Amino acid sequence: MGERYQTLVEVFEHYTNDLFKRIGVDRSESTWWCYRAVLGHLRAFLKHEYNLHHITLLELEQSFIEQYHVYLKTVCRSKAGSVCRYMDRWNNVVKISFNNGLMPRNSFALYRYSAPREPRTFLSEEVLRIFQTSRLKSAKHEYHRDLFLFSCFTEICYKDMHYLTCEQIIPDTKGHLRIHGNRCKTDGEYTVKFLPAALRLLEKYRGTAPRRLHSICRDLAVSIAPCVVLPNSAVSHGT
């Protein structure tokens, strides 16, 4: 095959290793993990469909991409949004390889894929009230519910909740607690005044240790707990 045409797996590994070095500089750890997931699916696909460990960039055709797309949806049973994220990462690596002269053509150039757009839904005030007061099956479910409510009443998104620290909760000139920080995605500065419902959640979890939850909310498990170790006087200022 010659030295000019590297294999797809080698190129993907090289790019993923470079991403790891850039964590905390201009890339997040979650981005690196996503590329690692794509690489894992790619290796499994080569073994499943072709009983191979490698395929050269020279052999990369659009039909190969189409089969991989179907593999993600059928064998892996990935959701449409996840499939598009995986395809986007792969498309990016192929485009970089083409621009660097590692392959004679961009196999993704004419391939189109998109996730179906689902209508945006909202919780009504009545539904939110029922959600607040309903008894749930377990303490873990209640903890998930409280994380969601804390996000609702503070306008803190998933990413910002994950990196929320106790130092971001400060009293203003009148002694009312506020959350001050920068958005992870836009780096825009924000200041959020605590509503009574959010303060009650802080009081509810005061002094509790962070839990390690093995679920979709596991990254949020560290969000409230670091903020509820505030001194008693700090929370009382906001009541």
Let me know if 110 is exposed, middle or buried by CB neighbors in 10 A (0-12, 13-18, 19+).
exposed
DSSP state of 4: T
pLDDT the model gives residue 201: 82
Distance (Å, whole) CA 93 – CA 99 = 10
Residue 165 has pLDDT above 90, yes or no: no
Residue 196 has pLDDT above 50, yes or no: yes
What residues contact residue 208 under an 8 Å CB cut-off, 6+ apart? Answer: 225, 228
Q: Which helix (H) or strand (E) holds 214?
A: none
pLDDT the model gives residue 12: 92
pLDDT tier at 3, thresholds 50, 70, 90: low
Number of Cβ atoms within 10 Å of the Cβ of 70: 13
For the chain, what is the mean pLDDT?
79
Residue 214 has pLDDT above 50, yes or no: no
Q: What is the pLDDT of residues 67-107, one digit of tens each?
A: 999 999 999 998 888 899 899 998 999 999 999 888 888 88
Instruction: Evaluate whether 78 touches 44 at the Cβ level (below 8 Å).
Output: no
Where helices occur in the chain by DSSP H, the ranges are 8-21, 29-50, 62-74, 80-99, 125-133, 139-154, 158-162, 196-204, 221-224, 232-237
Buried-exposed string 207-234: b where 16+ CB fall within 10 A, e elsewhere: eeeeeebeeebeebbbbbbebbebeeeb
Q: What average pLDDT does this structure show over 4-19?
A: 86
Residue where the block lists tokens 């995986």: 86
Number of Cβ atoms within 10 Å of the Cβ of 62: 13
Of the two residues 221 and 70, the one the predictor is more confident about is 70
